[in-house]
């Protein structure tokens, strides 16, 4: 069955019993979706950000945690483009002191085009994925009643990976848990934007 925007959906059998099951949140996109819906009632161009905890079925290693914080943001306005998204991401990482980033195409069910964001970790001497981004699909925006020329550019970033790169930490597990160095925490600011 096609939606009103021409989407053919995921083409799988949907079951309400499955949809009612509780799971730990794997991303914060539901926060952005709810905000977009509320914004549609009285639209004006805006910027939104949220920070919350998410959970993944991941084996823990130097760059992976099973529980971490996701920073999600979106900008909504008329005629935004992929160039606006690229520029916003580059400027954000430049301001937090991480000018070496790269992006590659990716798949997200709610954005198109979509891109993974990687930052260079100088100690590990490798590119580490720090987030995902894209432009919300018309199938998300139009049914909410937003004007047809309105676009939303969005990104979701893990807080811990950029933090480990920013402070030169080579193991993400040193940022939390029983191995956390409290002297490191007290001697570094909670938030610092480089000029």
In the predicted model, residues of the chain with pLDDT beneath 50 are 1
Q: Regarding beta strands 46-55 and 126-136, do their DSSP bridges make them parallel or antiparallel, or are they unpaired?
A: unpaired
Nearest alpha carbon to residue 72 among 152, 171, 185, 166: 152
Q: What does the DSSP 8-state code read for residue 14?
A: -
- Per residue in 25-51, pLDDT tens? 777 777 888 888 888 888 899 999 888
Position 81 scores a pLDDT of: 95
3-state secondary structure of 158: strand
Share of the chain residues as helix, strand and coil, in percent rounded to the nearest 5: 30, 30, 40
Q: What is the pTM of this model?
A: 0.77
Rounded distance, CA 182 to CA 51, Å? 23
Q: Regarding beta strands 126-136 and 101-108, do their DSSP bridges make them parallel or antiparallel, or are they unpaired?
A: unpaired
Rounded distance, CA 147 to CA 109, Å? 21
CB neighbour burial string for 64-86, b if at least 16 within 10 angstroms, e if fewer: bbeebbbbbbbbbbeebeeeebe
Position 87 scores a pLDDT of: 94
């Amino acid at each position: 069955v096609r939606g009103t925007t021409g989407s053919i959906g995921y083409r799988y059998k949907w079951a309400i019993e499955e949809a009612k099951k509780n799971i730990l949140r794997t991303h914060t996109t539901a926060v952005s979706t709810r905000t977009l819906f509320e914004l549609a009632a009285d639209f004006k161009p805006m910027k939104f950000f949220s920070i919350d905890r998410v959970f993944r079925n991941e084996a823990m290693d130097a760059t992976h945690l099973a529980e971490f914080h996701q920073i999600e943001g979106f900008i909504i306005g008329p005629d935004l483009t992929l160039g606006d998204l690229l520029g916003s991401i580059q400027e954000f990482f430049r301001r937090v002191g991480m000018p070496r980033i790269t992006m590659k195409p990716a798949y997200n069910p709610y954005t198109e085009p979509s891109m993974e964001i990687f930052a260079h970790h100088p100690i590990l001497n490798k590119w580490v994925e720090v987030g995902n981004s894209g432009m919300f699909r018309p199938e998300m925006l139009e049914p909410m009643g937003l004007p047809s020329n309105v676009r939303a550019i969005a990104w979701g970033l893990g807080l811990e990976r950029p933090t480990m790169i920013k402070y030169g930490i080579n193991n993400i597990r040193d940022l939390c848990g029983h191995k956390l160095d409290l002297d490191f925490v007290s001697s570094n600011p909670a938030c610092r934007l480089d000029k």
